[in-house]
Amino acid sequence: MAQILNGLRTRVEAILCDGYGSVGYTITAGRFTRVAPDLNGEQASAERRVRVVIGLRVPVEEGVNPLDGHALVYRPLAVAIEYARTRAGSDVAEGYDQLDGGATDDEIADRMSQDQHDVETALCWHEHWSGLDPYLVEIARDGAPETEFDGPVASLVLRFRTLTRETTPGSYSP
């Protein structure tokens, strides 16, 4: 099970942070930065920190055939992005790196809108998932984006639903 989640998480992080993918459907390397498990840590910059959260599997009832050794499984996937907030955009709080742009709420909302478009385009591009084990059948948006402007950090959460074809234990396949 950990192998499944590691492969999926590694690919998503490569698309978001490392410039992985097909030309025209990539995100520039370095635009987002990975964070430690504590997304709200005070020691790191909050500007475009990203964390990938993969939820528990939900079997697709009609997609399970114990005779072929595979099952279709949905997994929720969330991409959480943080942005540093200030009043003028020029005052950077101690411990934060330089901002990618102004840090007023309107300027952050503009970056959020562009980031939403780019992340959804990159993650939903089918060619980015070739060669992944287990086989990723589909990734799709799952609901409206969630934004929050509270304290020194604003956040954007984009939700997706993945559909994978996974091997089932104890199957009768050859």
Domain ranges for the chain, please list them: 2-167
d(Cα 25, Cα 163) in Å, to the nearest integer? 20
pLDDT at residue number 88 = 44
Beta bridge partners of 156: 81, 147
pLDDT at residue number 94 = 47
CATH of the domain spanning 2-167: 3.30.2000.30
Of the pLDDT bands very low, low, confident and very high (cuts 50, 70, 90), residue 34 is confident
Mean pLDDT score, 87-111: 64
Of the pLDDT bands very low, low, confident and very high (cuts 50, 70, 90), residue 95 is very low
- pTM of this prediction? 0.81
pLDDT at residue number 131 = 85
Of the pLDDT bands very low, low, confident and very high (cuts 50, 70, 90), residue 4 is low
